[in-house]
């Protein structure tokens, strides 16, 4: 039972599709980190500078200001109420850039695959053209008749 399980697992894990998927997941994770760093460390500071804020994530619309607690304790502290739209915009931009990068990578991959398929088809056409053509039925019949004629001429002499 244990030996069968291990051999079944080995057969499952060594199939090409599983290994391709594992490599894809690892590469996708690394690619995601690169793109997220591009967004967080390069693009967002530039957008923040354009919007006159240190970080886009700090952008917000304050509904009610925070009220600090009084020193004598008669007034309790009230937290600020705000709509923090900066972080939301940052996530949208991050998503759009990741989607764009993935689109470009997939487009390049599909283009390469199409070129390879076209090259293979062209090679097959060349191989078919180089192969000698099969003789037609008429050519085979004529060749057979010529052979018979030659045999009859040899026998008659």
For residue range 60-94, list pLDDT tens digits in order: 899 999 888 888 878 788 888 999 998 888 888 88
Query: Could you tell me what percentage of the chain is helix, strand and coil, using 3-state DSSP and rounding each to the nearest 5?
Result: 75, 5, 20
Q: Cα Rg for the chain, rounded, in angstroms?
A: 37
Tokens 């949208």 locate to 92
> Are the CB atoms for 61 and 85 separated by under 8 Å?
yes
Which residue ranges form the domains of the chain, and what is each CATH number?
Answer: 2-152 (1.10.1200.120)
Above 70 in pLDDT, residue 1? no
> Hey, how many other C-beta atoms are within 10 angstroms of the C-beta on 90?
20
Distance in angstroms (rounded) separating the CA atoms of residues 141 and 144: 5
| Paired tokens of 77 | 């502290």
Helices (H) and strands (E) in the chain, counts: 5, 2
Per-residue pLDDT tens over the stretch 6-17: 888 777 777 767
> Are the CB atoms for 73 and 43 separated by under 8 Å?
no
Above 80 in pLDDT, residue 3? no
Residues of the chain with pLDDT > 90, as a percent, come to 11
State the average pLDDT over residues 97-113.
87
Above 60 in pLDDT, residue 33? yes
Longest dimension (CA), the chain: 141
State the average pLDDT over residues 114-136.
83
Distance in angstroms (rounded) separating the CA atoms of residues 117 and 99: 27
Q: What angle do CA 54, 60, 65 make, to 5 degrees?
A: 110
């Amino acid at each position: 039972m244990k030996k069968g399980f291990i051999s079944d697992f080995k057969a499952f894990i060594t199939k090409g599709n599983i290994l391709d998927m594992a490599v894809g997941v690892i590469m996708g994770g690394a690619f995601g980190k690169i793109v997220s760093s591009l967004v967080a460390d390069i693009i967002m500071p530039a957008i923040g500078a354009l919007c006159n804020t240190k970080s886009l994530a700090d952008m917000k619309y304050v509904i009610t200001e925070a009220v600090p607690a009084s020193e004598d304790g008669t007034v309790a502290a009230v937290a600020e109420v705000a709509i923090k739209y900066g972080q939301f915009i940052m996530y949208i931009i991050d998503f759009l850039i990741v989607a764009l990068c993935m689109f470009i990578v997939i487009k390049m991959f599909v283009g390469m695959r199409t070129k390879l398929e076209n090259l293979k088809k062209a090679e097959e056409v060349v191989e078919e053209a180089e192969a000698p053509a099969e003789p037609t039925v008429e050519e085979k019949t004529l060749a057979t008749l010529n052979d018979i004629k030659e045999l009859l001429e040899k026998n008659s002499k």
